Amino acid sequence: MRRPLVPLTLVAGVLLLGALALFGRSSELTPAPEEATVTLPPVRVAAGPDAESGLLAQTLVALLALQDVEAEVVAFSDARDTRQALERGDVEVRPGYTGEAWLETLERADPPGDPRASFEEVRSHDAQEGLLWFRPRFLEGIDEPPANATFAFVVPGPPAVDADLATVSQLASRLSARPDATLCVDPEFASRPDGLRAVLAAYSVRSDQPVLAAPPADAVRGVVAGDCIAGLTTATDGAAWAAGLRPLVDDLEVFPAFVVLPQARRDAMLERPVISGAISPMAGHLTTALLGGFNARVVAGEPLDEVATSAAAELARRAGREVPDEEA
């Protein structure tokens, strides 16, 4: 299983400059100044083919709109194309995942599970290429930033018997007490030596723990139906959040970190400083739980642009900014 990437939309704003012209002789009256309007090109935001990427891109557009900057999403059919578009200057901004950059850009295996290590490595590399990752706040838990769209075991919420579980270590203890409890896990991940077996070993869980082969969508359904004590998907899976499931914290950081952050071209931000300030709330205030909840609303059928507008307003409020009533 690999986290998908998202292409984003670009945004452009309009800057009004006053132009003063003096005509005629000194004895003549000076006409009223005329204003000249300079239209700047739009800030383009790349978005990938998956729903989460599209939502993140639209949210960036909405954040720019809150600062009176026009924006548009540029959609790509392959997540890797969003990175290439950023490098070429075909877009100025995109939502990025640190774990994806580790695999695709650094071309290194085994992305670290520590969100800080994942961020610092890709940030340092891309800074040399003129591509900047926005720095997040590193706090603890799914209700604190940054958002981490990593793999995760999800469990039911109350009143389910296992709703008290919060970490994978706690799940491991529960599995030791219930050796017949089944895990719903993607078959490819379950068969890899560096997949499920490595995770179970890290958490000291028996290697013969019962496993039901189930891709993420089926894993979610399996947990809801009570066939599995926990199912493997991603921590921000909208279907899981919509079903009332919650991801367990990977307290040993076994799963690779996929920190969700805006990424932008340095030259674009130097030319348009408003970009940096407008989209920074995504880096500073987006949490795993928030993104999962926004994804759940899209899964439930809310229009993506409406969810994005709501998401941008919530992030702006958390950043201490005033938000117009219609954005609330």
Torsion angles phi and psi, residue 5, rounded to 5: -105, 160
Q: Does 3.30.2130.10 match the CATH number of domain 9-19+34-146+258-327?
A: no
Quickly name the fold that domain 151-247 has.
D-Maltodextrin-Binding Protein; domain 2 (3.40.190)
Domain limits, CATH 3.40.190.10, in the chain = 9-19+34-146+258-327
Cα–Cα distance between 102 and 239 in angstroms, integer? 27
Cα–Cα distance between 179 and 132 in angstroms, integer? 47
Half-sphere exposure of 201 (CA within 13 A, CB side): 7
- Which pLDDT belongs to residue 281? 98
- Which pLDDT belongs to residue 4? 41
Strands (E), 61-171: 69-75, 93-97, 131-133, 151-156
- Which pLDDT belongs to residue 36? 53
Burial call 258-296: b when 16+ CB within 10 Å, e when fewer: bbbbbbbbeebbeebebbeebbbbbbbbbbbbbbbbbbb
Coil/strand/helix, residue 297: helix
Cα–Cα distance between 306 and 312 in angstroms, integer? 10
Write out pLDDT tens, residues 248-275: 999 999 999 999 999 999 999 999 999 9
Write out pLDDT tens, residues 32-51: 444 456 788 899 999 999 99
Model pTM? 0.87
Cα–Cα distance between 34 and 243 in angstroms, integer? 59
Cα–Cα distance between 115 and 160 in angstroms, integer? 30
The strand pairing partners of 69, in sequence order, are: 13
Domain limits, CATH 3.40.190.120, in the chain = 151-247
Token pair, residue 26, equals 């000194």
- Which pLDDT belongs to residue 324? 85
Question: Which stretches of the chain drop beneath a pLDDT of 70?
Answer: 1-37, 326-328
Q: Which of these, 114, 155, 113, lies nearest to 247 by C-alpha position?
A: 155
- Which pLDDT belongs to residue 41? 85
Token pair, residue 182, equals 């089944």
Element counts in the chain: helices (H) and strands (E): 13, 12
- Which pLDDT belongs to residue 8? 31
- Which pLDDT belongs to residue 327? 64
